Structure 1
Amino acid sequence: MTDTAPQDSSTSTDQSSHYILNREYFTECFDQSADTTVSLKTYRLAILLIIMSAVLFIVEAEPHIAWFLLALGAVELLSIRYKRSWWVARQMLSRRANSRVNVRIDEQGIYTDSKHHQQSILWDDIAELKTTEKGFIVIHKGGTNYLSRTGLDKDFLALLNDKSNAIT
């Protein structure tokens, strides 16, 4: 995440910045926005896979399928235990890793654009704009996005805070 600069000097509320989607950004994104509560519901799929494999072992069905389901259950348990590392590693393996994302905010909404994806989130489409310790969670019709405070200048943050107060 690097410097910010006004994109159009004629509009004081039009701000832009850019981020590099690197390991630090993905880690911050996960830490600030992911639900890390662990309950029985979290383990539901792993338990189901292990039970299905146990049933197949008991009825002496095809052992390859039973072993496969048992392995899937183990992988699911590992993905729960190492949820953060698992998610960050998957993001780092994606084609978006280490790419630059330009972010622009104005009176109409928040706009992001990179080599692989363009998105516009209009203020009318935003249901909630949560402020976190290190950024903002934008909940909108199309899903949820995270916007880090790092690299954003004071005007950009002030506009986001104003919009956050207006939405909630």
Structure 2
Amino acid sequence: MSFSTTYTLDKSYFYECFDESLPYSTQAKPKYVFLVLLVSLGLTAIYWLEKHYLGNFLIMAAVLECVAFYYRRPWWVTRQMLSRASGSEATLTIDKNGFKSENPHKSYQLAWQDIDDVIFTVRGIILKSRRGMQYISNSVLSDEIIEYIKKRATK
């Protein structure tokens, strides 16, 4: 069986990709230990070492980390929209060898044996491998190919 489809890499696709992938990402929770460490070092620098500039810098770095976490979704989508691939047509091919996605600026291939986990979300499929995660929206897949992926994932 071989399946091929095309889709546009636009803002709505990137938002869907981020929203569906985030719960399975390591970036889903704030880095509490890092934040506590920065604030602790900042307070230590201010009160014990009497290095106010260093202490304020470390505390502001913790605040910046909080702001970056809060705005991670629009920041990630903006970075994708500024990439050369934004707005281009991507071609997805699924066959007995695995997944292949190509656009005019980048391509990736993921063999079935390289996939560690297949996660079915409400709006798509996440393929986890050692190289990271790839998201495929259900809107570009037929019911037949989704069933094919489910069968291959259980093998």
| Residue number among 14, 22, 26 corresponding to 2:10 in the alignment | 22
Residues paired across the two proteins, number? 151
Task: Kindly report which structure 2 residues correspond to 1:7-156, keeping only aligned pairs within 5 A, or say none.
Answer: 13-35=1-23, 38=29, 42-58=31-47, 59-61=49-51, 63=53, 65-156=54-145
Q: Are the counterparts in 2 of residues 104 and 111 from structure 1 also a CA contact under 8 Å? A: yes
CA spacing shift, 1:67–1:105, aligned 2, 3 Å: same
Q: Equivalent residue for 2:148?
A: 159
CA spacing shift, 1:97–1:57, aligned 2, 3 Å: farther
**C-alpha distance after superposition, 1:67-122 (max 9, x if no partner):** 33222211111122333333323333334333332110111110011233221111
For structure 2, the 5+ residue unaligned runs are none
Secondary structure of the 2:108 match is strand
TM-score using structure 2 length: 0.81
Q: Are the counterparts in 1 of residues 99 and 111 from structure 2 also a CA contact under 8 Å? A: yes
CA spacing shift, 1:106–1:47, aligned 2, 3 Å: same
Q: Are the counterparts in 2 of residues 32 and 132 from structure 1 also a CA contact under 8 Å? A: yes
CA spacing shift, 1:47–1:22, aligned 2, 3 Å: farther
Paired with 1:37 and 1:106, the residues of 2 have a C-alpha distance of 32
Secondary structure of the 2:75 match is helix
Q: Are the counterparts in 2 of residues 14 and 105 from structure 1 also a CA contact under 8 Å? A: yes
Percent identity over the alignment? 28
Paired with 1:70 and 1:120, the residues of 2 have a C-alpha distance of 43
For structure 1, the 5+ residue unaligned runs are 1-12
Moved over 6 A (4+): none
TM-score using structure 1 length: 0.76
Q: CA deviation at 1:37?
A: 5.3
Greater share of helix? 2
- Select between 45-54 and 133-142 the one with higher mean Cα deviation: 45-54
CA spacing shift, 1:21–1:69, aligned 2, 3 Å: farther
Q: Are the counterparts in 2 of residues 45 and 76 from structure 1 also a CA contact under 8 Å? A: no
